């Protein structure tokens, strides 16, 4: 037996979007999980809804636990609070499974499909969204440091591309159209705004040519007409994909129609929870690239099934991370294991700074490739110094 005996959560007041979970079992192991957005709500769900059922359960029965937690009476088949809480639990259970077997999670899943995985740099700043506030960059914004890439891509994307290439990155993701969505709730983009949004892509190609892949993120901010206009305009810049172009990424008909009318590849979606939305999108010929976030979709148990769907439809897979260090480590394990995975997302600003304050180990990146973790389970734990810092909100249920 490996009985769950306690759930402990950690939250930081200055990063209210993030929550970390430790599951302890009676065989002396501790599994680590994480999820993002609405952390206080997830905290309540974990301790008041999930803990009474989880305590005393055999942590080895991950599939049965996953099925129960992902099908509550309400709040499933989405990335709502119940599913985010279940995702954190599932990641922790797989961490425990790897530790029990003495192998990294990607090996516990069945082994690697590749020795390393390429990474791309999402050009965010040092605290992208983790303080609970959206950051849209305008002309007057000041850089917070040398890796404040969100300011950099709006000011001089060509120089940014050169910087990334110098560090070994061969792909980057930017979102210069976001600031033009609020004026019309994303349903209209004017030609002048379209040209301004295209400028970073133009500068990248002028500066480095085709030496770097460029992804465009639209953050589900646009309606069908404006998304189509942006996608068609991006065709001239050979973007690798356009991510989350529509304001509802479970809109099979809308995405399929968009995909038919543009040459750019459509990627989606980190925002979806559970297996069925991905099944419907792939069956509806609505996606070119499958993106999933293990802290939102249901963890490894659901994530590997989504990866199998991507394989069945011959679509590439790309795990998301613009959230927290545990999700990044989890995504790396999935990217190493999943047959059609092509990239793992990273943010060099967070890798170089506060991620290091939270966990003991982070992905090792060499020449634009993430190396496989070597320690058992996730291969990382919460830092002792993190657990001892003033103001940390800790809650435990036994």
pLDDT at position 143? 75
* Helix/strand/coil for 132: coil
User: pLDDT tens digit string along 46-95?
Assistant: 999 999 999 999 999 999 999 999 998 777 778 999 999 999 999 999 99
Question: Across all residues in the chain, what is the average pLDDT?
Answer: 95
Are 4 and 397 in contact by the 8 Å Cβ rule? The answer is: no
Q: Taking the CA atoms of 179, 182, 185 and 189 in sequence, report the sign of the dihedral they define.
A: negative
Question: Encoding tokens for residue 61?
Answer: 């029965």
User: pLDDT tens digit string along 199-225?
Assistant: 999 999 999 999 999 999 999 999 999
Dihedrals phi, psi of 156, to nearest 5 degrees: -155, 80
Question: Could you check whether the bond before residue 249 is cis, i.e. omega within 30 degrees of 0?
Answer: no
H helical segments located in the chain: 39-44, 51-54, 62-69, 81-101, 105-108, 149-166, 191-208, 224-234, 252-260, 275-283, 294-297, 299-312, 325-337, 348-351, 355-358, 384-387
Q: How far apart are CA 222 and CA 243, in angstroms?
A: 11
pTM: 0.96
pLDDT at position 166? 98
CA–CA distances in Å: residue 48 to residues 12, 34, 54, 394: 20, 17, 11, 15
User: pLDDT tens digit string along 96-155?
Assistant: 999 999 999 999 999 999 999 999 999 998 876 665 555 566 645 677 788 889 999 999
pLDDT at position 332? 98
pLDDT at 397 over 90: yes
User: pLDDT tens digit string along 301-345?
Assistant: 999 999 999 999 999 999 998 889 999 999 999 999 999 999 999
């Amino acid at each position: 037996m490996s009985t769950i005996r306690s759930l402990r959560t950690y939250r930081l007041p200055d990063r209210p979007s993030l929550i970390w979970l430790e599951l302890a079992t009676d065989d002396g192991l501790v599994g680590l999980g994480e999820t993002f957005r609405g952390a206080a709500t997830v905290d309540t769900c974990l301790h008041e809804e999930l803990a009474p059922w989880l305590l005393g359960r055999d942590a080895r029965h991950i599939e049965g636990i996953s099925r129960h937690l992902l099908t509550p009476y309400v709040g499933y088949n989405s990335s709502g609070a119940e599913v985010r809480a279940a995702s954190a639990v599932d990641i922790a259970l797989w961490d425990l499974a790897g530790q029990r077997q003495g192998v990294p999670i990607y090996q516990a899943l069945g082994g690697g499909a590749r020795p390393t995985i390429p990474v791309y740099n999402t050009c965010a700043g040092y605290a992208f969204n983790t303080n609970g506030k959206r950051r849209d960059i305008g002309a007057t914004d000041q850089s917070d440091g040398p890796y404040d890439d969100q300011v950099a891509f709006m000011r001089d994307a060509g120089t940014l591309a050169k910087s990334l290439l110098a560090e070994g990155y061969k792909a980057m993701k930017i979102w210069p159209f976001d600031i033009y969505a609020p004026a019309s709730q994303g349903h209209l983009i004017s030609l002048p705004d379209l040209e301004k949004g295209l400028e970073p892509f133009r500068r990248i190609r002028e500066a480095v040519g085709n030496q770097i892949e460029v992804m465009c993120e639209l953050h589900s901010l646009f309606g069908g007409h404006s998304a189509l206009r942006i996608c068609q305009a991006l065709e001239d810049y050979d973007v690798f994909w356009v991510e989350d172009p529509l304001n509802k990424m479970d809109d099979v008909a809308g995405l399929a129609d968009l995909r038919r009318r543009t040459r750019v590849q459509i990627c989606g979606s980190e925002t979806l929870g559970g297996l069925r939305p991905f099944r419907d999108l792939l069956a509806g010929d609505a996606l070119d690239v499958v993106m999933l976030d293990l802290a939102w979709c249901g963890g490894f148990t659901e994530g590997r099934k989504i990866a199998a769907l991507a394989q069945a439809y011959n679509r590439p897979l790309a795990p998301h991370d613009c959230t927290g260090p545990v999700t990044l480590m989890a995504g790396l394990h999935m990217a190493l294991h999943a047959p059609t995975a092509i990239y793992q997302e990273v943010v060099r600003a967070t890798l170089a700074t506060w991620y290091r304050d939270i966990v003991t180990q982070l992905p090792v990146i060499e020449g634009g490739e993430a190396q496989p973790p070597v320690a058992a389970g996730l291969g990382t734990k919460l830092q002792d110094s993190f657990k001892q810092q003033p103001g940390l909100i800790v809650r435990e249920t036994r």
